[in-house]
A and B are shown apart, each in its own frame.
Chain A
Amino acid sequence: MEAATATLVGEPQLATAPELPSTSTNSDGNASNNSNNSGSERVDTDNIGWAKKPTDTTSELRHRSTSYSFTGSALASGIADLSGSAASEATPSSPSSSTTTTTAGAGASTSTAGPNNDSSSSDKEQNEESLYECNICLDTAKDAVVSMCGHLFCWPCLHQWLLTRPNRKLCPVCKAAVDKDKVIPLYGRNSTRQEDPRNKVPPRPAGQRTEPEPAPGFPGFGFGDSFHVSFGIGAFPFGFFTSSLNFGEPRPAAANRGTTQYDDEQTLSRLFLYLAFLCIGWLLFA
């Protein structure tokens, strides 16, 4: 017993894997625990780190607990172990073994449910995975960001979407307003690069300010959003200035390159150019 604990004391610096044989030597030394150990062995398959705890001495447990990561169901049993070990610390050594074995038994009982669930556990995993899927590519979110409305995306996907509709930056899921500055990057524990994913994608194109859109009134007589025609006969001499030089109300920003709106605008502007040439030609030659 003493030899076994001595080897264990030296170990906290090592990784979790090497400790497995050493604890087994400990259990071999502890003849009274042998029957229960078979139960605790079963726990190993589920959550190696915590199942081994009860056989360790309590002082090491404190050292080690810092190096463990808590994952899923292991967390619950781990807390039970810790409370059990705290109780054992207060009591003399011989009862401590019994208390720890009871907690080990509890751990075993939770883990015995595991094998039964094996078939469904893969489904469960899939479900859990799908909780963290990007809403755009439907894959597990990479360089994850979350919008203010709580929806998860890969940053490259969301960035792409914001580029596609520069004038209407809406959350794909709930249509709330989203923007580069209104999303929060998510860093998991194992993400080695704690780098803001928003910096990875090529920097945004030059900032463009869009005026709040006027209330959508009469929808007719226009091509899309950016072009409107008005008809009227008037002798008001400043009509030309007021209609063609818009002082009060700036025109909406030009569409980004690559979007369909941009293409539309290009064809339109070309058409009007030809029209202008025609008019000039007609004036000159007629």
Chain B
Amino acid sequence: MLKLFKKTKDKIPKSEIINEPKEPQKPAVSKCGKPLLLDNSRWERRLHKELMSLIKEPPPGVTVDTESVQQNLSEWKINIKGFEGTLYEGEDFQLLFKFNNKYPFDSPEVTFIGSNIPVHPHVYSNGHICLSILTEDWSPALSVQSVCLSIASMLSSCREKKRPPDNTLYVKTCNKNPKKTKWWYHDDSV
């Protein structure tokens, strides 16, 4: 039910993993009866606005898969190109953003999907990304655009293509949802 892994190897991402027991989906209202989110229309409006701005003025190398968004506003597929002059030049990656109804107060769930998952010390081979703004450093002022930009810059600043040292163990034991992982952020260099 509850596992805790500790690793003390070298200085590249380690993660404490907790597989929480599956809980029934909670209603959107907290126990004291106060609504915990923007009402539905405003939540959708924010996503719409972000989508529009992302389509209108996309950051370099970022394109939205509009078809996927039209089917389901809460799951976006975003294509991202490896910048020129970096280790990932010429590669194409696909990100999956999943928004829950607490967005933007709760961070979106962001993973790499598809056949090409970047080999990067902060990206696990199942697509999970170790990036602080995706969990504890999330702020509602961040947007899909800024998250894409952060990920692009994370890829660009990479010096050596390699998987995280605890990749095999993590991939075997982790929850499907990267937000359930207790990430331990300590490496700011990449």
Q: Which residues of A contact B (CB under 8 A)?
A: 135-139, 151, 157, 160-161, 163-164, 170, 172-173, 175, 202, 205, 219-221, 223-224, 257-258, 263-264, 267, 271
Contact = CB atoms under 8 A, between A and B. Distances in A.
B106 interface: yes
A170 B36 CA distance: 18
Contact of A135 (B8, B21, B37, B140): B140
A177 to B, nearest CB: 14
B141 A172 contact: yes
A221 B104 CA distance: 31
A160 B36 contact: yes
A257 B30 contact: yes
A135 to B, nearest CB: 5
B9 interface: no
Contacts of B140: 135-136, 157, 161, 172
Interface string B106-131: 10000000000000000000000000
A202 B36 CA distance: 12
A172 B182 contact: no
Interface of B: 1-2, 4, 6, 8, 16, 18, 20-21, 23, 30-32, 34, 36-38, 42, 45-46, 49-50, 102, 104-106, 139-142, 182, 184, 186
A137 B42 contact: yes
A161 B23 CA distance: 24
A87 to B, nearest CB: 48
**Interface SS of chain B: helix, strand, loop or mixed?**
loop
Contact of A258 (B6, B31, B49, B141): B31
B37 to A, nearest CB: 7
A223 B49 contact: no
B31 A161 contact: no
A224 B45 contact: no
A138 B143 CA distance: 10
A221 B36 contact: no
A172 B139 contact: yes
Contacts, number: 68
Contact of A173 (B2, B16, B34, B141): B141
21 contacts: A136-B104, A137-B46, A138-B50, A139-B42, A139-B46, A157-B38, A157-B140, A160-B37, A160-B38, A161-B105, A161-B140, A164-B36, A164-B102, A172-B139, A172-B142, A175-B139, A221-B6, A223-B18, A257-B31, A258-B32, A258-B36
A164 B8 CA distance: 32
B6 A220 contact: yes
Contacts of B104: 136-137
Given A170-B139, A173-B141, A221-B6, A138 B106 contact: no
Contacts of B139: 170, 172-173, 175
A254 B91 CA distance: 46
B20 A267 contact: yes
Nearest to B21: A267
A157 B104 CA distance: 10
B172 to A, nearest CB: 21
A224 B182 contact: yes
A161 B104 CA distance: 9
Contacts of B142: 172
B87 to A, nearest CB: 29
Contacts of B6: 220-221
